[in-house]
Amino acid sequence: MLNRQKTVKILLSVFVVLWLGFIFYLSAQPNYVSSKKSFQISQQILELIEEDPPIQKIKRFDYFLRNSAHFSVFFVLSLSLFLLTRFYRLQRPYVFTLLFSSLYALSDEIHQIFVPGRAFEFSDLVLDIAGVGLGLFLWWLFIFVYSSFEKGKSTS
């Protein structure tokens, strides 16, 4: 059992580091590269639904997709980082995860100032932190429901 926990801890640590690198990689892409990729993905998704979608529809969907990406990558970061803090038995895992993830989101936006065609976008920072917040809320909800279920089992 101990070896299994150690293996999971190592794999989760590697995942978190790789995920942080993935976020950095996405931020390091110049605007013309990032915009072109997301537009192509948006177009491909919409073409699954309808043949030859209008350009305005693709642009609207692309806007939604890009905002969803900000939210999602930090949502995944908070889920995995919180789990990692539990494996390392850190004090105040919610606070640590919120602070670390939010500071990383801030550094991500600052990093974009130095990338051609990119800029610090406060709205992106808000989306990033909202993703972190939802991830932490879902962990709290899961732990609350699980512990309530366990208490109910022990009293019956």
List the domain boundaries for the chain.
2-155
pLDDT digits (tens, 9 = 90+) for 121-137: 999 999 999 999 999 99
Tell how far CA 100 is from the center of its chain.
13
- The residue among 139, 146, 7 whose CA lies nearest residue 78 is 139
Give the model confidence (pLDDT) of 78-108 as tens digits: 999 999 999 999 999 999 999 999 999 999 9
Lowest mean pLDDT among 69-78, 117-126, 144-153: 144-153
Average pLDDT over residues 38-52: 93
- Name residue, tokens 């539990």: 86
